[in-house]
Structure 1
Amino acid sequence: MSSQIPNIPMSVTVKPVEPVTSIGSMATFGRFQRWQYLLATIPILFTAMSNINYVFSAAAEDARCAVPACETANSTPALPPWWPAGEHRCSRPVLASGVVGNCSVHSFINQSVRCDKWVYGSNNSIVSEFDLACQEWKRTLVGTVHNVGVMISMPLMGFVSDRWGRRKSIIASGLGLVVGAFKTLTAGPGWTGYPLYLLLELLEAALVTGTYTTCFVLMLELVGKNKRIISALVLGIMISSGELLLTLIVWLVPYWRHFQLFLYCPAFIFLAYIFLLEESLRWLIVNEKNDKAVMLVQKISKWNGVALSRKMIDAIRNSKVGFDADKEVEKEKFHPKLLFSSAMLVKRLVVCSWWWFTAAFVYYGLLINSVTLPGNKIGNFALSAISTLIGEFIACFSLNKIGRKYTLLGGFLVCGIACVVEAFVPKAAKTELIVIFLLGKMCISICFNGIYVYTSELVPTSARGCLVGACSMVARVGSVLAPLTPLLGNWWHPLPTLLFGGSALIAALLTLSTPETLQRDLPDTVAQAKAFHQ
């Protein structure tokens, strides 16, 4: 097969051997695959809650400056009757000399000073804990710092996944959730308060969020080409389920320290994955871990009740084995230079990166802005998560029926149009705003599901974890910017949704430049990935 593919990069070592046998039967969706899928879904669920809980832990709170001499036990953030007319709630009006209690609008002089104490509403977020009232940039910075950590996590855990295996990467990420639990110990006005919280937010995201791509790649490599959509569907369902579960937890336990403990304390269950989770068979074979591959094939055969011949075992030990229709798996070792060994691969990396950037920017931007829609904040967040879940099932159907390319094209196009339209819908049209918002959120969810599958099928096994991780890193530029979009809305209300719509429309155009991969075998080398255009 390799002799039919031109232009194999000189930096790539390929072992040309004659095909001997196929172990496609090992990739059936049997009892072994179902068990491994179940194990892979649990880290995704916890990662989804970890990845978005800042929407509630750093939520905006009603607040005003406190005037201690005038406050009562029942003081609220609403401006009291004695508050001087025209005075901003973020500054403290100065009392006239000798005034103690029984304040009125005549008790103040025409002067204000910087506020040093606040009256808050719910006291359920870090805004009240660290006195962040009237410092909107500090509140939104939490989400930005989190997504900077995500940006670090994706290529980092992608490299770990390709270099040391999917299994070790998943276990390390799962245990990284423990870092998040330490955020509940932050307190005080000094470095142990808000600055330490930001540092822990960064570390948590950097260690944990790579679980998304690693679990997906593992699930993708567990099954044959006819079942790859299941991997994307399961990933999307678990992310949506995590968001819904987070909504339920916050509703029942609104105080930020308490609901974060619910999210992070179960992290130690991932120690059991050392004994329960298996490595990807495809990764073992591509990386010439032949003895371990034989042991795993024997285990899969036993679990699934599939006959295993001596010839097949010998083929694995001699590195002469294939996965799909007696096509041999060519060996190609990962090296950073591999990423730039082909102009085609670089082009695909650029296109896929824009997809990921747009999907993350629009998805998280809409999710964050969902709590500013008319109505109940928690209810709108739940509706947003449900629309995501619906999008996952639509993606599952369309990716298999009309293909990867046209699913992404339609999803980005409709999402872009919905966002542009929403930008000009009056605030008074509450129902229309929510319906258009949910349509856009559903469509970008379809795209988010699709890009996981499509990107993984466009790049080779030898660099799949790293390339998907690199695309995810670029995507996190979008998720870093997404928490800042509410600030843009303060300047010009339609601007955030216009940016979302414009990004989605550009992504739709770029989709026209990529080949369809429906029913194509996963490429194992750069040369095989290039053959998609031939």
Structure 2
Amino acid sequence: MVEFGDLIRAAREFGLYQKLVVLWISLPLLLIPFQMVGQVFMVVDVPHYCNTDWIRAVGPNLTEEEQLNLTLPRDANGDYEQCIMYSPVDWDLNSIVAYSLNATEKCSNGWVYPTAEQPSLLTEFDLVCDRKDLSGISQSIYMVGLLIGAIIFGPLSDRIGRRPVLLICLLGQSLFGVAIAFLPNFTLYIIFRCIMATAASGILITTLPLATEWVGVSYRPTAVLVSHCFLAAGQLVLAGLSYGIRNWRLLQIAGSAPVFALFFYYWVLPESARWLVTKGKIEEAKKYLKKAASINKRTIPPEMLDQLKCETQTKPGSILDLLRKKHLLRMTLIMMCAWFMDSLVYYGLSLNVTGFGLDIYLTQFAFGVVELPARICCIYLLQWFGRKKVQAVLLLLAGLMCLIIVGIPEDQAVAITVLAVIGKFAACASFSTSYIYSAELFPTVIRQSGVGLCSMAARMAGIIAPLILILEQYHSAIPMAVYGSATAGGLLCFLLPETRGVELPDDTVTDNHQRK
């Protein structure tokens, strides 16, 4: 009896063909970090105060300093209040100077940004004072888009294939990403960014099966983590782009337009042969397998290909199998928890790049640099210690770093940043492990549905993470304390089966994972 894994070994488990596939699916991931957290660099806080031009009607010859002294109160440090102004009056200028103004109110005529900065989301759409939380809400709505994408594109990929879904998502991300740069108001910005997020989610969860289903058992971590290294490199791209381009519209174009260069995918991107077999499309699967063998300078014996037709077709699966079958339900719930905690810490730290006390571009660069060794180390950690232990320990470490940060004084910016970088390292490595682990746990017929459910859990955490940061206004320790709950997810992972060295399951009939 010939298994699909035998055919992959005959064609070579990780030959030139598989390396090209991994390269193709990795290129779009370079810009995913920009789409996810790039907004942080578009709303960097700048000095601002209420627009008080009303006084110009009675004092047209006032200097700017005189105008501000007469119309703006000062805070305890002697600086002008940024969100409060003296209420306008119908007095003449002499009366205003003689008696001064006492009644205050919130800014009623917009804000003034005295620094000569390039246009940003903050200055163009006034994301300050009472509107300050709109930035975090916008980021949460983006995560809603990622959630919608997981709901739509996970099952759709199992139904119509990995290749068409990836092509559709690439087109959607590029079109809506560029369109965002030309929008006239913040409401449209939020809507378009949410739509773009659905496409980005589809790209993330569709590249996973293409990376795992084309390679042999021992090369699955390498294939997935190489693609994730491009995500890490994307963090460095984000740091460079945001530092060099301060105009938010130009930055948005620079972070989105390059996806158009991937139009050639229509001709070079393959479908998953393993998925084709499970759908009974045997001849098409044979065509891809022969092509892979040819490029790898191998030949698959004809008798093996003949047996593929009668031996490897599988019973169709349903997402309901994840709920009906006890072993699948247990794995699904634990992995959803792991993905949730991964996402909570990862995005909580990434979106708080302005809150650690150091230069935000330097902090982002450090976050990007640390992601590369995090992804690369995973390749060896997973081979040496297995999936279960690595997943559990990394998640525990990520949560622990957040809890330690809670006890560090706020004026220790360097210490806090170092701990945050370690936490980002662990969360990043844990996230990569979750992708690999999930792909190995779920059967081929519902692999994308299972990963889609896990991705939904991660997106729920992504929605919550920016909102948790808003709680910092009540106490600075609240966000990190919440992110520290990831330790609980790490403990649950010890209940999962080990999948190191185990062939990918194709059907949902039995629990064929070896427990170690």
Identify whether the pair has TM-score above 0.5, normalized to the shorter chain. Answer: yes
Measured at CA, do residues 67 and 513 of structure 1 come closer, stay the same or move farther in structure 2, by a change above 3 Å?
same
Answer yes or no: is 1:170 the counterpart of 2:166: yes
TM-score by length of 2: 0.91
Residue 125 of structure 1, CA deviation: 2.4
Measured at CA, do residues 525 and 414 of structure 1 come closer, stay the same or move farther in structure 2, by a change above 3 Å?
same
On the 8 A contact 2:33/2:231 being kept in 1, the answer is yes
Measured at CA, do residues 109 and 73 of structure 1 come closer, stay the same or move farther in structure 2, by a change above 3 Å?
closer
On the 8 A contact 1:61/1:133 being kept in 2, the answer is no
Residue 309 of structure 1, CA deviation: 2.3
Answer yes or no: is 1:389 the counterpart of 2:386: no
Unaligned runs of 5+ residues in structure 2 are none
On the 8 A contact 1:26/1:300 being kept in 2, the answer is yes
CA distance in 2, matches of 1:105, 1:410: 68
Q: Residues 21-54 of structure 1: CA distance to partner in whole angstroms, max 9, x if unpaired? A: 9312225211111111111111222223222222
**Counterpart pick for 1:185 among 182, 185, 189:** 182
User: In structure 2, what residue type is equivalent to 1:118?
Assistant: W
Answer yes or no: is 1:297 the counterpart of 2:297: no
CA distance in 2, matches of 1:388, 1:85: 43
SS at match of 1:428: coil
Over the aligned positions, Cα root-mean-square deviation in angstroms equals 2.5
Residue 401 of structure 1, CA deviation: 0.6
CA distance in 2, matches of 1:205, 1:305: 40
Answer yes or no: is 1:94 the counterpart of 2:87: yes
SS at match of 1:527: coil
Answer yes or no: is 1:130 the counterpart of 2:125: yes
What corresponds to 1:44 in structure 2? 29
Answer yes or no: is 1:156 the counterpart of 2:147: no
Answer yes or no: is 1:110 the counterpart of 2:93: no
What corresponds to 1:199 in structure 2? 191
On the 8 A contact 2:472/2:479 being kept in 1, the answer is yes
On the 8 A contact 2:127/2:133 being kept in 1, the answer is no
What corresponds to 1:348 in structure 2? 331
User: In structure 2, what residue type is equivalent to 1:138?
Assistant: L
What corresponds to 2:227 in structure 1? 235
SS at match of 2:86: strand
User: In structure 1, what residue type is equivalent to 2:254?
Assistant: F
On the 8 A contact 1:359/1:444 being kept in 2, the answer is yes
Measured at CA, do residues 155 and 112 of structure 1 come closer, stay the same or move farther in structure 2, by a change above 3 Å?
closer
On the 8 A contact 2:72/2:84 being kept in 1, the answer is no
Residue 130 of structure 1, CA deviation: 1.6
SS at match of 2:85: strand
What corresponds to 2:310 in structure 1? 319
User: In structure 2, what residue type is equivalent to 1:266?
Assistant: P
What corresponds to 1:4 in structure 2? none
What corresponds to 1:377 in structure 2? 360
**Counterpart pick for 1:310 among 302, 306, 325:** 302
Measured at CA, do residues 307 and 482 of structure 1 come closer, stay the same or move farther in structure 2, by a change above 3 Å?
same
> How many residues end up aligned between the 2 structures?
500
CA distance in 2, matches of 1:528, 1:352: 19
**Counterpart pick for 1:255 among 214, 223, 247:** 247
On the 8 A contact 1:83/1:105 being kept in 2, the answer is no
What corresponds to 1:517 in structure 2? 499
TM-score by length of 1: 0.88
On the 8 A contact 2:208/2:439 being kept in 1, the answer is no
**Counterpart pick for 1:474 among 445, 457, 463:** 457
CA distance in 2, matches of 1:507, 1:465: 22
What corresponds to 1:84 in structure 2? 73
Measured at CA, do residues 101 and 246 of structure 1 come closer, stay the same or move farther in structure 2, by a change above 3 Å?
farther
What corresponds to 2:10 in structure 1? 25
Q: Residues 288-328 of structure 1: CA distance to partner in whole angstroms, max 9, x if unpaired? A: 11111121122112111102322133223x233xxxxxxxx
Residue 205 of structure 1, CA deviation: 0.5
CA distance in 1, matches of 2:12, 2:96: 76
SS at match of 1:332: coil
Structure 2 matches for 1:56-71, cutoff 5 A? 56-68=41-53
User: In structure 2, what residue type is equivalent to 1:381?
Assistant: Q
Q: Residues 190-240 of structure 1: CA distance to partner in whole angstroms, max 9, x if unpaired? A: xxx121111101111012222112112101111101101112321321111
User: In structure 1, what residue type is equivalent to 2:138?
Assistant: V
User: In structure 2, what residue type is equivalent to 1:527?
Assistant: V
Measured at CA, do residues 460 and 105 of structure 1 come closer, stay the same or move farther in structure 2, by a change above 3 Å?
farther
Measured at CA, do residues 73 and 171 of structure 1 come closer, stay the same or move farther in structure 2, by a change above 3 Å?
farther
Structure 2 matches for 1:397-436, cutoff 5 A? 397-436=380-419
Answer yes or no: is 1:140 the counterpart of 2:136: yes
On the 8 A contact 1:414/1:443 being kept in 2, the answer is yes
SS at match of 1:112: strand
CA distance in 1, matches of 2:429, 2:473: 29
User: In structure 1, what residue type is equivalent to 2:134?
Assistant: K
CA distance in 1, matches of 2:284, 2:96: 78
On the 8 A contact 1:70/1:101 being kept in 2, the answer is no
SS at match of 1:92: strand
On the 8 A contact 2:402/2:423 being kept in 1, the answer is yes
**Counterpart pick for 2:209 among 206, 217, 229:** 217
On the 8 A contact 1:163/1:334 being kept in 2, the answer is no
On the 8 A contact 2:10/2:300 being kept in 1, the answer is no
SS at match of 1:53: helix
On the 8 A contact 1:419/1:437 being kept in 2, the answer is yes
Residue 340 of structure 1, CA deviation: 2.3
